[in-house]
Structure 1
C-alpha cells in the first residue's frame, strides 16, 4: 500500500510475524458514512429552518456543522456537558451563522426531531466496511468498536447497516464518562476485546483524537483519510510528523489488512462491488 508506515514498533511480532491481534474501529466516518447522513439531515434543516440559504451554500452548512468550531462535542466527550446540551448549542450556532431564529427548548425539540429523522434514515456503511471486517475476522483478528458517542446510539447505527453482529460496540462516551483522546477508553476497549494494547490497532477518521490518541495509549494508530473535505484542516507537516511517529495513513479501509501486515497485498481479493 502506498504512503503507509509499518505498525508501531512497540508491538512484538508473533511466530508468524504478525503484529496485530485486534482491531478497534471508530464508527462515524470510519465504518459509517456519517458525513453523507449529515448532508441529508441538514438539507431537511435548511428547508425547514434556514429559508435564506440557497442551494449553493448547502455544502457550507454541512462543513460548519461538522467542524463544530466552538468544540461543544469535544466538551461532551470530556464529560463537561450533556448530549442534548451540546446538540442544542450546536444547533443554535448553526442557526445564528446562517440567519435562522434562536431555538428555545421547545423549538429545539422540534428542530432536533427534523434533524434525527433525516440523519437516522440516511445511515449507511461505507462501501469498504463490510468486506474489510470480514477479511479481518477471517484472518483471526478480534474486532470491536470504540466511539465518542453513547453505546446504545452507536449500536443502533451498527444494527441499521448490518455490522453489529460482527463489530460489537464495546466502549462509548457513557462507558467511563469520558471519551477519546483519554487513554483510559482505549485501554478499556482493549480489555473488553481481549487483546493487549500493543497488539491492537485503532482505526479512525480523526488524526489527533483517533490515531495520535491511540498511539499515546499504547496502541497502533491508523488514520483513515478518505477523499473529500476533512472535518478540520490538517497541515501537511502534521501528516508527515504522524507518519514519522508510526501512524498508518490510508485512504480506504480496503488498504487496512495489508497495511497492518495481516495479509499480503496479493491476498486481498476484493469483490467487484468494492
Structure 2
C-alpha cells in the first residue's frame, strides 16, 4: 500500500507524496527548460534583423541568423550574468548585447532613444512566441499526480516570467516563487535556491532543481543542498560544457525522463 510523506495543500498542489519518491518538491528554471525561449529568441531576432540589419542573400542571411542566435544566447561578455549578480540594470545589459550584435553584423549603434525603439520591436516578437516545450505538460501532470509540489526559480524579472508562464499556459501548475528581483540577485547564489525551497515548503535535500544550464542550474543547486538535474536537450547548449565537471547531478535529455529519474 502506498503511504504519503506530507501534506502540501497550502501550496495548491495535490497532497500526498509517495514515500518511494526521491523528492517532495521540484523547482524549475523557466527559459529553455519548461518554456521554449530559444524559439522565441529566433522570432525576436528575426524582427530586429528585418528592421535594423542590412539585407543579405538567402544563404548568407541564414548563416547570419544562426550566428545572431548563438551570440545572443551565449552572451560571451557576461552582461546578463552581471545583471543576475545585481551589478547592472536589466535594460543596460540588454542594450550592451544589442550593440554587440549590431557591431558584429553591420547594424547602427543604438543610443538610449534608439535602443528603446529596438527593444520594443524585439519584445513584441519575443512575447508573441512564448510557448511551452511539447513534453512539458505531460511531465508536469506526472509530477502533480504523484503529489509533488512544483514551483519556478528564475534568473529573470518577476513581471517577465509571470507573463511568460501565463502565456505558455503554465502559471497554474508552476507558480513563480523566486526571480532575480526577489532578493536582488540570482543563481548560482545558494540563497535563492534555499528561499525557493522555503516558499515551496520543502526540505532542500528533498527538492530537485531542473534547469538547462549545467553550472548555474544543476551544479549550483547541488552545491546549495538540492537534487540537481541538468536538462541537456540535444543541440541546445548556450555555452560549451566540460562534461567531466558535471558530477553529482542527474542528466536528462527531455523532461519526459524527469519522473523516472526522481523515482516516480
TM, length-normalised to structure 2 = 0.90
1:136: which partner in 2? 143
1:110: which partner in 2? 117
Change (3 A) 1:15 1:223: closer
One of 176, 185, 203 as aligned partner of 1:169: 176
Taking the TM superposition and a 5 Å limit, the aligned residue runs for 1:69-218 are: 69-218=76-225
Distance 2:19 2:47 in 1: 52
Distance 2:38 2:111 in 1: 27
One of 40, 45, 63 as aligned partner of 1:42: 45
Measured against aligned partners, the alpha-carbon deviations of 1:149-186 in whole angstroms (never above 9, x if no partner) come to: 01121010000011000100000000000000000000
1:66: which partner in 2? 73
| 1:18 has 2:21 as partner | yes
Distance 2:19 2:174 in 1: 25
Distance 1:67 1:15 in 2: 39
Q: 1:234, CA displacement in angstroms?
A: 1.2
1:255: which partner in 2? 257
Change (3 A) 1:15 1:147: closer
Contact kept in structure 2, 1:36 and 1:122, CA below 8 Å = yes
Change (3 A) 1:101 1:17: same
Contact kept in structure 2, 1:33 and 1:124, CA below 8 Å = yes
Q: 1:233, CA displacement in angstroms?
A: 1.1
Contact kept in structure 2, 1:25 and 1:146, CA below 8 Å = yes
Aligned residues: 244
Name structure 1 gaps, 5 residues minimum. 1-13, 263-274
Distance 1:148 1:200 in 2: 18
Distance 1:41 1:168 in 2: 25
Distance 2:22 2:76 in 1: 37
Measured against aligned partners, the alpha-carbon deviations of 1:109-165 in whole angstroms (never above 9, x if no partner) come to: 110011011100011100011111111011000000000001121010000011000
Q: Higher relative contact order at CA 8 Å, sep ≥6: structure 1 or structure 2? A: 1
TM, length-normalised to structure 1 = 0.87
Name structure 2 gaps, 5 residues minimum. 1-16
2:241: which partner in 1? 234
Contact kept in structure 2, 1:52 and 1:99, CA below 8 Å = no
SS of 1:208 mapped into structure 2: helix
Say what the alpha-carbon RMSD is for the aligned residues: 1.3
Measured against aligned partners, the alpha-carbon deviations of 1:182-203 in whole angstroms (never above 9, x if no partner) come to: 0000000000000000000000
Measured against aligned partners, the alpha-carbon deviations of 1:80-111 in whole angstroms (never above 9, x if no partner) come to: 00111111111111111111110001100110
